[in-house]
């Protein structure tokens, strides 16, 4: 019997299938993935010897590569504030397409090239603005936390709270007043504006000592 001319199973297909499980709001296991792909668990391990950890890393790389393929990075020209804003918006969009996968992604250190290139872009933007040493890391982490949290929130139900007007009147009034853009988008914009303004303030009010 002739062998197939194309490989039926690849790491990329495995990573994509696992990401689809998350998008369907389901966890994944090796047996579940194998069943979805129509292969045995041993066949999966042949292609991803690192098991679940390798698959999680592959999912992250896949999401980041999709963002690169859309042309979202680098975020273009302009001031460091404008570039940081576009970086955050673009990366939030990329992650927000797969909010249920994010908790699994943050449990592993980032070591894949597509994702590291995205973070290197932000590091270069902030370093060019004047941040360095631990303040560069703090600025990176601030924007990263904002993006990750907002991307997770993209998968939350609407409304996020269901209070009774009698017991929780202030919360009820806040929910009743919602109009216009989505709550998640407004909150992200508010947080991003505040973060960039604070970083700008620190550059102005806490200048670095001159380099010797």
Q: How far apart are CA 41 and CA 73, in angstroms?
A: 36
- pLDDT tens string 185-200: 999 999 999 999 999 9
What mean pLDDT is predicted for residues 92-116?
A: 94
- To which H or E segment does residue 142 belong? helix 133-153
Q: Say which residues have a Cβ less than 8 Å from residue 167's Cβ, sequence separation at least 6.
A: none
- pLDDT tens string 109-132: 999 999 999 999 999 999 999 999
Exposed / middle / buried, residue 54 (Cβ in 10 Å: 0-12, 13-18, 19+): middle
Q: What is the pLDDT of residue 211?
A: 63
What mean pLDDT is predicted for residues 36-49?
A: 91
Task: Kindly tell me if the per-residue pLDDT of 5 is higher than 50.
Answer: no
What mean pLDDT is predicted for residues 142-171?
A: 93
- To which H or E segment does residue 34 belong? helix 30-37
Measuring CA to CA, how many Å separate 54 from each of 34, 78, 165? 15, 37, 48
Confidence tier at 4 by pLDDT (50, 70, 90): very low
Output the CA torsion 7→8→14→20 (10° steps): 130
| Domains of the chain: residue spans and CATH | 11-205 (1.10.357.10)
Q: How far apart are CA 28 and CA 17, in angstroms?
A: 9
Query: Does the pTM of the predicted model rise above 0.85?
Result: yes
What mean pLDDT is predicted for residues 147-163?
A: 91
What mean pLDDT is predicted for residues 75-87?
A: 92
What is the Cβ-side half-sphere exposure of residue 87, based on CA atoms within 13 angstroms?
A: 25
């Amino acid at each position: 019997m002739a062998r197939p001319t194309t490989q039926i199973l690849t790491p990329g297909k495995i990573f994509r299938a696992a990401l689809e499980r998350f998008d369907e709001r389901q966890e994944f296991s090796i047996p579940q993935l194998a069943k979805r792909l129509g292969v045995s668990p041993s066949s999966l391990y042949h292609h991803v010897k690192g098991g679940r950890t390798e698959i999680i890393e592959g999912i992250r790389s896949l999401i980041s590569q999709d963002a690169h393929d859309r042309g979202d990075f680098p975020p273009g020209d302009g001031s460091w504030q404008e570039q940081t804003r576009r970086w955050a918006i673009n990366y939030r969009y990329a992650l927000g397409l797969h909010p249920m996968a994010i908790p699994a992604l943050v449990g592993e250190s980032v070591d894949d090239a597509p994702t590291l290139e995205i973070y290197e872009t932000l590091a270069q933007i902030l370093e060019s603005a004047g941040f360095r040493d631990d303040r560069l890391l703090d600025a990176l982490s601030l924007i990263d936390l904002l993006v990750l949290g907002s991307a997770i929130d993209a998968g939350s139900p609407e409304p996020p709270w269901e209070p009774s007007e009698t017991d929780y009147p202030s919360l009820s009034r806040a929910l009743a007043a919602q109009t216009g853009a989505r709550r998640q988008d407004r909150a992200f914009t508010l947080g991003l504006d505040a973060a960039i303004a604070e970083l700008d303030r620190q550059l102005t009010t806490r200048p670095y000592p001159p380099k010797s």
